[in-house]
Amino acid sequence: MSAQPNEGDLKVWWVPQIPMPAFEVAVTDIGSASLLLDTLGQYDAFQFEHHVKPDYCNAGGLMVFEDGDWCDWLDDEGNDFDEVRRDPEMLAAAIAKARGAA
């Protein structure tokens, strides 16, 4: 992450095994965030299925920098990113809206 985030910057956070600290990475848009979160989840499942790790309890999400602080990303209707990215129509609408705002 950059030392000084700008208003509207996005970052994905991921905890591969609760309660360890979160891994954070900057993303350019919500489409990239969705792909990254899906990939991280699939990677944890792959490691479990192939006996790389005996179990896991993961969590992740998307944050946006607003008013000088990082907060959970929500769409205009108040849906969190998990809700949006699991609904193809909602995700497509959010991506289109973000592209129009750029």
pTM for this model (two decimals): 0.87
* Contact assessment for residue 58 and residue 18, using Cβ atoms and an 8 Å cutoff: yes
CA distance 39 to 1: 20
CA distance 97 to 102: 9
Query: Where do the DSSP E strands lie in the chain?
Result: 10-15, 23-27, 59-66, 69-72
Give per-residue pLDDT as tens, 68-101: 999 999 999 999 999 999 999 999 999 998 888 6
Helices (H), the chain: 30-49, 81-85, 88-101
CA distance 47 to 80: 27
Give per-residue pLDDT as tens, 29-67: 999 999 999 999 999 999 999 999 888 899 999 999 999
The predicted structure's pLDDT at residue 20: 93
